[in-house]
Structure 1
Amino acid sequence: MKIKCILIDDEPFALNLLEDDLLSFDQIEILQKFHAPVDVVDYLKNHSVDLIFLDIQMPEQLGTQFVRDLEDPPLIIFTTAYHQYAVEGFELNAVDYLLKPISKERLTAAIRKVADIMTLRNKQVVEKDHIVVHVEYKKTKIFLQEISYIEGLKDYVKIYLVDRPVPLLTRSNLRGMEKLLPTGNFLRIHNSFIVNKNRIKHCTVAKLALPEVELPIGKKYVKNMEQFQTKGPASKDNSIR
């Protein structure tokens, strides 16, 4: 299980040092580094991030305030030279609070906590055969096998069901939907689309065909399709051509 993370720190030296330390952990995948929280908001809307390593005292915005402003924050590990924010950090449900300079032992313990949380979450998701979302102000139960694909529209998503021409509309984003859906059954193929693997008929490098529609494949998601080619449903039609 890979832990997809981003790093935020206004000090380049501290950022590079943390990156070097994290490279020794096989389960950590560093997606991106940032020098200010303001650059991260749009990134989180379009990318699935499990964990943020976050400095606190930064010129444009405190790391704690940044977390408060996020609607659906990933897991957070604060990395700071200041102990006085510790209580506030844990009030924000941070996984850990690491004081600089960060020792290898403390970093290891923090990552182990994240791995344990993600393992528990994945187990809970896999055991589910449905999701519950708000549709027209009512909680609606949707069985996973009924979902064909999901389209992201900024702060809303459209959920297209098998044999239902009109999609369900719910207030969320694709990153939030990814957290609800088991990765064994669903695949992100574009900034705007998640598909049910079992509905894929065939695909090229640029587009994917479901029984009812063709969808584009984003360049940065081609790798996901290669993974699907080897690990997805067994079918001679499920190949990248």
Structure 2
Amino acid sequence: MKIKCILIDDEPFALNLLEDDLLSFDQIEILQKFHAPVDVAEYLKNQAVDLIFLDIQMPEQLGTEFVRNLEDPPLFIFTTAYHQYAVEGFELNAVDYLLKPISKERLMTAIRKVEDIMTLRNKQVVEKDHIIVHVEYKKTKIYLNEISYIEGLKDYVKIYLVDRQTPLLTRSNLRGMEKLLPASDFLRIHNSFIVNKARIEHYTPAKITLPEIALPIGKKYVKNMAQFHMKAASNQDNIIR
């Protein structure tokens, strides 16, 4: 299980030091580093992130304030030289609160906490055969095998069902939907699209074809398709490459 994370710290030395330490953990995948939280909220709307390592005292915005302003924050760990924010940090449900300088042993303990939380979440998701979303102000149950693909708009997503022409519209974003859906059955292929793997008929490096539509593959999601290709090749010889 890879933990996809980003790092935020206004001090370049501290940021690089944390990155070097994290590179020694095989389960960690560093997606991006930021020197300020100003652009991170927009980044999170378009990128699936499991974990944020986050400094607190930064010139433009406190790390605690940044977390409070996130509508649906990923897991996060504070990394700071100041102990006085610890209580506030845990009130915000931080996974851990690491005081600089951070030892490898302390970092390992924090990462194990993240692994435990993600394992539990994944187990809960896999056991579900449906999701529940708000459609026209009502809670609506949608079975996973009924979903063909999902399209992300700015603050909404369209859920296209197998035997329904009109999509269901719900207030969310693709990152939020990605958390709800089991990765074993659904695949992010673009900033704007998630598809049901079982619905894929053909694919090329540039697009995926479902029974009802062809969808583009975003450049940064080619890696996802490569992994899908490897699994499909071993399990489904009839898929056209």
With normalisation by structure 1, the TM-score equals: 0.98
Cα shift at 1:239 = 4.3
Residue by residue over 1:28-79, the C-alpha shift from the partner in whole angstroms, topping out at 9 and shown as x without a partner, is: 0000000000021111010000000000000000000000000000001000
C-alpha separation in 1, matches of 2:128 and 2:5: 26
Letter in 2 for 1:193: F
C-alpha separation in 1, matches of 2:13 and 2:238: 49
Q: Which residue of 2 aligns with 1:221?
A: 221
Q: Is the 8 A contact 1:151 1:192 kept in 2?
A: yes
Cα shift at 1:131 = 0.3
Structure 2 unmatched runs, 5+? none
1:239/1:36 CA distance change after superposition, 3 Å: farther
Q: Is the 8 A contact 1:75 1:95 kept in 2?
A: yes
Cα shift at 1:236 = 3.6
Secondary structure of 1:24's counterpart equals coil
Letter in 2 for 1:122: N
Q: Which residue of 2 aligns with 1:44?
A: 44
Q: Which residue of 1 aligns with 2:198?
A: 198
Aligned residue runs from structure 1 range 1-241, under 5 A: 1-232=1-232, 234-240=235-241
Task: Please provide the CA RMSD for this pair.
Answer: 0.9
Cα shift at 1:232 = 3.7
Letter in 2 for 1:148: S
Secondary structure of 1:224's counterpart equals helix
Number of matched residues?
Answer: 240
C-alpha separation in 2, matches of 1:190 and 1:106: 36
Q: Is the 8 A contact 1:202 1:237 kept in 2?
A: no
Cα shift at 1:237 = 4.6
Secondary structure of 2:151's counterpart equals strand
Cα shift at 1:188 = 0.1
The percentage of counterpart residues that share the same residue type is 84
C-alpha separation in 1, matches of 2:140 and 2:178: 17
Cα shift at 1:163 = 1.1
C-alpha separation in 2, matches of 1:110 and 1:193: 33
With normalisation by structure 2, the TM-score equals: 0.98
Letter in 2 for 1:176: G
Structure 1 unmatched runs, 5+? none
